[in-house]
A and B are shown apart, each in its own frame.
Chain A
């Protein structure tokens, strides 16, 4: 078991700086997910922790030791690759035992440990087979077994579920979480899928363009995103962003008839910053379509036209517009809207976020 610390870590390729002054603390036993779009630097960071890429500047500590200049085998880590990287010419048994054999563990011990792990992972029946005779899910478990059997201080996982089909992926996800509960090994997990990130990690690290946008527990990231990028990246369908004027404690777009009161304490934060315009972020589930005959409660400015309705069975997604503003709203399975109909929507302002137009920072945190 080991904690991982990245201190002011830099990565340069030739003249280009891809990661600058990255700081991250991962507690012992924590399951941390690095998530972000392609090219955000999450894989590079993982490779640096693994020792497969050099660290151009800064320090890396694993279990309190400075491993910045050490080769991978001295870092007490193991890794599961996206493609599993199983040795195609070796049996499952030999694949799993590879690291142990290199460390000259006694043959009996190897057989015992390999047997143990493979039973846990339900691959004990395949020990004599070659990787090509296994299904995708089975291969993935062999890769896991290889990583687990050495009992390292840190597990590194590079998008291990990307190559599985959707159904297997969900199964594998819960499997990994269960495994983590049992083993309690520090895990750093990289993915581009925000749903995976949300469901698996005790801490999510959202990255973009080499910079950590926010590092916090999943629900914190979901409910209190640090900036517009995080807000828009986490959650599906994505949060709606509507640019509006701000005055008098209200967000306003007079032409579209929008005038909504900003509740405290967010209003105080916005007043303090003396902004004239904000980007309001509202998640689809915080748009509520009002009943058709509920005319009495219609406040001015929450009327939207229905463009497209997508029935999901358990609910409905509505593409709605108001002037230049577009949004996606969630509705129930009993949704009764019609195409091109104008309906009023109530917006749960307590759950709304307000981002600076230029920097994207969440102004009310």
Chain B
């Protein structure tokens, strides 16, 4: 009779075979199948992209011409790439500052009973998460319109007319406009994560600090935030992913204008591949994005591995 396996007996191929023999159903559909799908839909595409980055292809005819490192050489000299790269980082900074801290403050205010109609507030801030970024983009196109937009009218009404800029036309400002809009839509996510996280923080730690005389500022700094580190880790990761995906708003609102100054990396890939029919170079850009994303993720994960993702 075959040895009935109770627990995992180590790792390595022999263990895997033993596991597969005893738990066939689980091994096939629970491990084999997803890994297969992964290989096919993620692993293979990544390898293919890397391969393609050394070729030229117009996406229509089947020929793919090997050009070695030519695409990479071009990449190094490509101004659009650098602009887009810089833009991605500016975007990331805005996203880390604005929605994350505001989301936290709102969650804190809700938990501290500092506001009335808390549920309403929570719902209202969370609602944009359900909106597609295309819809958000369109909405803010209308609001930030220089002639009929509500935003400029409000500024003028408050006497802050001097702050008005060409939100989309002025290339110094346009990217930040997009990033702030993205932040507006995203704030709900850090908010609920911090809201849930604050619920898990033991109330006594706050009480003890309050008895010692701590005001909200100290409470946040010395009680709330230190105990929320794992949540912050998750939130930062999510913000990172979200900002690397900054495609939708660019495609909707500016399409890269003016002069490609609001390009982000993802959009450049799209432009080069599907508009300029330079799929090979598009692949090269994709490889660059992948490398940067992995580096960033490794950086954050490294700082964060102390328990945020325990199994």
Do A and B contact each other directly (Cβ–Cβ < 8 Å)? yes
Q: Type the 1/0 row for A26-63, where 1 means its CB is closer than 8 Å to any CB of B.
A: 00000000000000000000000001111000000000
B6 in contact with A70 (CB, 8 Å): no
Number of A-B residue pairs with CB-CB distance less than 8 Å in the complex they form? 13
Q: 1/0 contact trace for B1-24 toward A, CB 8 Å?
A: 101111100000000000000000
| Chain A, Cβ-Cβ closest to B9 | A54
B220–chain A nearest beta-carbon distance, Å: 41
Q: Does A71 contact B (CB under 8 A)?
A: yes
User: A53 to B6, alpha carbons, bound, how many Å?
Assistant: 6
Instruction: Judge if A116 is at the interface, Cβ distance under 8 Å.
Output: no
What is the distance, in angstroms, from B125's C-beta to the closest C-beta of chain A? 36
Does A264 make an interface contact (CB < 8 A)?
A: no
A339 within 8 A of B: no
B-contact bits for A58-93, CB 8 A (1 contact / 0 none) = 000000000001110000000000000000000000
If over half of A's interface residues share one DSSP class (helix, strand or loop), that class is named, otherwise mixed; here it is: loop
Interface residues on B, range: under 10
Residues of chain B within 8 A of A70, CB atoms compared: 1, 4
Q: How far is the CA of A118 from the CA of B5 in the complex (A)?
A: 35
* Complex CA–CA separation, A71 to B6 (angstroms): 9
Contacts of B5 in A (CB 8 A): 54
Q: Which residue of B lies closest to A47 (CB)?
A: B6
> Which residue, of A51, A54, A70, has the highest number of chain B Cβ atoms within 10 A?
A54
A47 to chain B, nearest CB (A): 10
Q: Indicate if the CB atoms of B1 and A54 lie closer than 8 Å.
A: no
Contact partners of A51 in chain B: CB under 8 A:
4, 6
Q: Closest Cβ of chain B: how far from A67's Cβ, in Å?
A: 10
A70 to B6, CA, bound (A): 10
| C-alpha spacing A70/B5, complex, angstroms | 9
A180 to B273, CA, bound (A): 78
Which residues on the B side are within 8 Å of A53 (C-beta)? 6
Of all chain A residues, which has the CB nearest B22? A71
Residue of B nearest to A48 (CB): B6
Distance in Å from the Cβ of A169 to the closest Cβ of chain B? 32
* Contact residues, B261-298 vs A (CB, 8 A): none
Chain B residues with CB below 8 A from A71, complex form: 4
13 contacts between A and B (CB under 8 A): A51-B4, A51-B6, A52-B6, A53-B6, A54-B5, A54-B6, A54-B7, A69-B1, A69-B3, A69-B4, A70-B1, A70-B4, A71-B4
